[in-house]
Amino acid sequence: MVLYKTNEEIELIKLSCQLLSKTFGFIKAFITPGTKTKVIDKKAEEYILDNGAKSSFKGFNGFPNTICISVNDQVVHGIPSEYEIKNGDIVSVDGGLILNGFHSDMAYTFEAGEVAAQRKILLQTTKESLYKGISMATEGNRIGDISNAVQYYAESHGYSVVRELVGHGIGMNLHEDPEVPNFGKRGKGILLRQGLVIAIEPMVNMGKKEVKQWQDGWTISTRDGKPSAHFEHTVAIRNGITEILTTFDYIENLIKN
């Protein structure tokens, strides 16, 4: 069942999204060669707690950490560890927090040091596919319009989209209906209506679309070992427009913390 939000509820989700966006901006400085991923996770946890919020991820179905950190061929759900980031790595961070009873969700793939041109193009295309999907998240369209826009853009650039993992509704729960796949047909799925809040999150592979799960029960990586990128925004449909509630501006230094 889809839980449509009031303007007041969307404002509370937006506050959660703003703090999450600032968290991503804060941890950017630590995503550098030589830093252990568990250190980045600790910095994120301290920032979130210091600002009166809690991680949506820590403890969710037993997940042990504050954020997911997935490097290179890891698609999503990477567990922060002793791994030291290397020059040229691409580092996907997926995070969520709960503030005033409402969740937010966001992902961004960072460059560590000097990243190869092929990887830069993968990141840029994945981010662009996210905004292509968002452009179709308008009242009167359907979920399939979002899904198809992401898929068409990614595949037209020679990449593949992961099938097993999808975006989702969000609000008082981290994961709500509807599911938002990154592949599909235009005109299919539920009608998009006023008050819908969803997380759209393309996961795009340089190689084939197939993935595998690690023995840790969480980490998902590409089956062929080629790099993957992940970008995500939380968005709301209200007042006749599509509003992006999270922002990459803190990461990209368009807004200073």
- CA 52, CA 59: separation in Å to the nearest integer? 18
| pLDDT, average across residues 62-85 | 98
Q: What is the DSSP letter of 191?
A: B
Give 167-179 pLDDT, tens digit per residue: 999 999 999 999 9
Residue 3 confidence (pLDDT) above 60: yes
Residues of the chain above pLDDT 70, percent: 98
Residue 257 confidence (pLDDT) above 70: no
**Topology classification of domain 7-244:** Creatine Amidinohydrolase (3.90.230)
Give 94-143 pLDDT, tens digit per residue: 999 999 999 999 999 999 999 999 999 999 999 999 999 999 999 999 99
Residue type (1 letter), 165:
L
Report the predicted TM-score, pTM, of the whole model to 2 decimal places: 0.97
Grade residue 240 by pLDDT with cuts at 50, 70 and 90. confident
Residue 256 confidence (pLDDT):
59
Where in the chain are the domains? 7-244
Q: How far is CA 100 from CA 62, 97, 171, 174, in A?
A: 22, 10, 11, 13
Is the CB of residue 7 less than 8 Å from the CB of residue 174? no
Residue 74 confidence (pLDDT) above 80: yes
Rounded (10°) angle between helices 37-50 and 7-27: 140
The alpha carbon torsion through 98, 99, 102, 103 (nearest 10 deg) reads -30
